[in-house]
Structure 1
Amino acid sequence: MIQLDNLTKIFETPQGVTTAADHISMEVPTGEICVLLGPSGCGKTTTLKMINRLITPTSGRVLINGEDTTDIDTVTLRRNIGYVIQQIGLFPNMTIEENISLVPKLMGWDVKRCHQRAKDLLDMVALEPNTFMKRFPNELSGGQQQRVGVIRALAADAPVLLMDEPFGAIDPINREVIQDEFLKMNKELNKTIMFVSHDIDEAVKMANKIAIFRDGKLEQYSSPDRLLAQPETDFVADFVGNDRTLKRLQLATAGEVMETQVPIVKADEPLTQAAAKMDEYGHGMIVMVNKQHQPVGIITKEMAATKRGLCGEHYAGVPVVMKHDQELRAVVSKMFAFDTSWLPVVDADGRLCGEVSQRGITHHLGAKYQTKG
């Protein structure tokens, strides 16, 4: 959807010539989010602004859906590209509905269509339309204003969205909520997004691809996982941080890493059967499930060796279970909190579907990129 072809910007000042963006070439496929990262002055915002010609390129091309934007007049180009900035930029004398409807009205949408679009978008970001449509920006919190700033950029249903540190001024709790809502919303809307950030954790969470800039040059362009696992230069390695392996825990879920062939017992099975299964699988514990295949207890090797009777008469409670869609960062946190090397994993109905272990997580992190390339 977005293709940058040797995009270059040179600024001439009384102090000399500065190359802010130096032959930047990259492609962002339809429906993907690309986050531009790098230190201040590295060229990421300049690159973003050249896409909608807020900054005119010195050379190179921008293509959107295969069309060279050089041949599109600036007003038409900008109306067809959503743009969100950190400072939000809502018009204080307009209601929220009027702010959202501004570009659609300029594009000739009728009043009924604009009203419905504003209503639908407010619903998407958990702002009740009947409550917020007629309010003015100063009647909203900072986080609520930022949500409106994001959906205003989506109002005309442009296929491309540019975002310049859109969540940077929001407190951490609201930022995470808005990020989650935004990702959920884009699954439905399927916009192609380029996004400037200064936060590597935000980039890892939000992006399909990350572009690292340094002194106007594109240093590395790859998936978040590959960027963290295989930084291509010392600069990239330093920028993403020494804890880059831990950051990768955000990029996989318990369901992706769990072992599905795990032993189980039921309450009416003898402890000797539990002991035999633990020996067979080399486990020190085994999960006891009920008739719905939900984990209800744990049998340890010591219990099976020292007690007699049925599993349902001798078991410990399950300290914690992980849902299959929870990220590995949460799994590892629970492992440390409960001093355990493995945890049962359940599906959306609470049925046991596998177990995740420290060894399995370590294998996943180490085995994914055994060779470069």
Structure 2
Amino acid sequence: MIKIDNLTKIFETQNGAVTAADHISMEVPAGEICVLLGPSGCGKTTTLKMINRIIKPTSGRVFINGEDTTGMDTVSLRRNIGYVIQQIGLFPNMTIEENIAVVPKLLGWEPAAYKRRAKELLEMVALEPGVFLRRYPGELSGGQQQRVGVARALAADPPVMLMDEPFGAIDPINREVIQDEFLKMQQELNKTIMFVSHDIDEAVKMANRIAIFKGGKLVQYDTPDDLLAHPKDDFVESFVGDDRALKRLRLVKAEQVLIANTPKVSPKDSLQSALRLMEEHGYSDAIIMVNDAGQPIGYVPKGVASTIKGYCGEHYVGLKATASVQDDLRKVASLMFTHDTTWLPCVDEHGVYVGDVTQRGVTHYLGATYRPKNISTGRGEGDASPRGEIHDLRSCL
């Protein structure tokens, strides 16, 4: 959807020519989010602004959906590209409805159409139309104004959006909320988005692809996982941070490291049958117990099953936490740390038990990137039980 071909910008100054962007070439596929990262003055904002010609390129070309924009009328080009800036730039003398409707009005939309569009977009960015349509920007918080800025950029349903540090001026709590809502909105709208950020964590969370700039040059252009796992040089490695392996936790879902088809018992099963299952599967600690709906409700310790008689429903320990298959590993790791355990039962969208996520499984999954291909990435060499590292489940869950 966006193709940049040898895009270059040279500024003439009193001290001579300064190359702000040096032969930048990259492509952003339709429906993806590309985040431009780098230190101040590296060329990322200049590159972004050359796409809609807020800054005119010295040389090179920009293609939108296969069309060379070099000869396009600047006004028409910009009306077909949504643009969001950190300072938001809402017109203070216009209502929120009027701000959102600016471009649709310029394009000749009927009043009923642009009013309806303003209402739809406010709902999409989680602002109640009945409350906010008639308000002015000065009556909104910074986070609310930023949401309106995003809505305005989407008003004419452009295929491409450019965003210049759109969440940078918002406090951390509201920033997370707006980012989450924006990603949900993107799943529905499937826009092609390029935006500038200074925050590697934001880029990892938001982007399908990340471009790292330095001194006007594009140093590395990759998926977030490949960028974190395989930084091209010392600069990129330093920029993404020493905790780059931990940052990858956000990119992996629990279902990707799930140990499936694990044994389980019901409250009506005998402790003897529970012990037999644990021995058959090499479990040295415990086995999960589920209710009639297949939902995990506790575990039966092996020490209990091997010393007394009775039924599992009479001698189980309740669970303090479970993971969802759609949880990212950052959340899973947080749950493990909070509850002092190295494994968690995992459930599907209906709460049904589907297997276990283990600390060792997470470690092996992430570590597979750095190991030769012939080394196992499963439970671990010599690990008979995926939960073999836990010796006292009573204290862990």
Instruction: State how 1:248-259 maps to structure 2 within 5 Å.
Output: 248-259=248-259
Distance in 2 (alpha carbons) for counterparts of 1:369 and 1:145: 44
Matched, 1:350 2:351: yes
Residue in 1 aligned with 2:187? 187
Tell me by how many angstroms 1:252 deviates: 1.0
Matches within 5 A, 1:283-362: 283=283, 284-362=285-363
Partner of 2:55: 55
List gaps (5 residues or longer) in structure 2. Answer: 374-397
Q: What is the aligned partner in structure 2 of residue 231 from structure 1? A: 231
Distance 1:306 1:117 in 2: 68
Matching residue of 2:104: 104
The equivalent residue for 1:173 is 173
CA distance in 2 between counterparts of 1:58 and 1:298 reads 67
Which deviations, in whole Å up to 9, do the C-alpha atoms of 1:234-268 show, x marking residues without a partner? 10000000000000000011122111111101111
Matches of 1:37 and 1:279 in 2, distance apart?
A: 52
Local SS of the residue matching 2:26: strand
Normalising by structure 1, we get a TM-score of 0.98
- Residue 308 of structure 1 aligns to a residue whose secondary structure is coil
Deviation at 1:115, TM superposition (A): 0.5
What amino acid does structure 2 have at the position aligned with 1:316?
A: V
1:266 match: 266
Counting aligned pairs with the same residue, the percent is: 68
User: What is the 5 A alignment of 1:272-287?
Assistant: 272-283=272-283, 284-287=285-288
What amino acid maps onto 1:332 in structure 2?
A: A
One-letter amino acid of the counterpart of residue 232, structure 1: K
Distance in 2 between residues matched to 1:192 and 1:70, nearest whole Å:
20
Please say which of residues 359-368 and 87-96 is displaced more in the overlay: 359-368
After TM superposition, give the deviation of residue 17 of structure 1 in Å: 1.4
Q: Displacement of 1:99 after TM fit?
A: 0.1
Q: 1:209 to 1:371 in 2, by over 3 A?
A: farther
Alignment of 1:200-215 (within 5 A): 200-215=200-215
Cα displacement string for residues 211-233 of structure 1 (whole angstroms, at most 9, x for unaligned residues) = 00000011100000010011111
Matches of 1:68 and 1:200, distance apart in 2: 31
In the TM superposition, residue 343 of structure 1 has moved relative to its aligned partner by 0.2
SS in 2 for 1:30: coil
Deviation at 1:308, TM superposition (A): 1.5
Deviates more, 1:362-371 or 1:278-287: 362-371
Distance 1:110 1:369, change over 3 A: farther
| Corresponding residue for residue 393 of structure 2 | none
Find out whether 1:68 has 2:68 as its counterpart: yes
Kindly tell me: are residues 69 and 369 of structure 1, through their superposed partners in 2, closer, same or farther at Cα, counting changes over 3 Å? farther
Deviation of residue 194 (structure 1)? 0.3
Deviation at 1:306, TM superposition (A): 2.0
Q: Give the secondary structure class of the aligned counterpart of 2:260.
A: coil
- Partner SS for 1:306: coil
CA distance in 2, matches of 1:130, 1:319: 42
Q: 87-96 or 295-304: which moved more?
A: 295-304
Matched residue SS, 1:334? helix
Deviation, 1:368, is 4.4
Report the secondary structure of 1:63's partner residue: strand
Superposed displacement of residue 51, structure 1: 0.1
**Counterparts in 2 of 1:206 and 1:371: CA distance versus 1, 3 Å:** farther
Deviations 1:318-360 (A, max 9, x none): 1211111111101111111111111001112211111100111
CA distance in 2, matches of 1:371, 1:157: 47
1:273 deviates by 1.4
Between the aligned partners of 1:212 and 1:371, the Cα distance in structure 2 is: 27
The 1:371/1:154 distance shift into structure 2, 3 A limit, reads: farther
Which residue in the other structure is 1:134 paired with? 134
Q: Which residue of 2 aligns with 1:246?
A: 246
Distance 2:371 2:210 in 1: 21
Partner of 1:198: 198
Which residue in the other structure is 1:19 paired with? 19
The 3 A distance-change label for structure 1 pair 158 and 369 is farther
Distance in 1, matches of 2:101 and 2:79, equals: 12
* Code of the aligned partner of 2:164: D
What amino acid is aligned across from residue 149 of structure 1 in structure 2? Answer: G
- The equivalent of 1:152 in structure 2 is 152
Query: 1:200 offset after TM fit, Å?
Result: 0.3
Q: How many pairs align?
A: 372
Q: Which moved more, 1:93-102 or 1:325-334?
A: 325-334
- Partner Cα separation in structure 1 for residue 304 and residue 16 of structure 2: 78
Cα offset, 1:282, TM superposition: 2.0
* SS, match of residue 309 in structure 2: coil
1:213 corresponds to which letter in structure 2?
A: F
**1:300 alignment partner AA:** P
Distance 2:246 2:302 in 1: 32
How many angstroms apart in 2 are the aligned matches of 1:6 and 1:369? 33
- State the partner residue of 1:119: 119
* 1:108-142 CA-partner distances (Å, limit 9, x unpaired): 11101100110100000110111111110011111
Counterpart residue type for residue 111 of structure 1: P
Gaps of 5+ in 1: none
Corresponding residue number in structure 1 for 2:367: 366
Moved over 3 A (4+): 368-372
Answer yes or no: is 1:35 the counterpart of 2:35. Answer: yes
Q: Shift of residue 370 of structure 1? A: 4.6
Question: Cα offset for 1:371?
Answer: 6.3
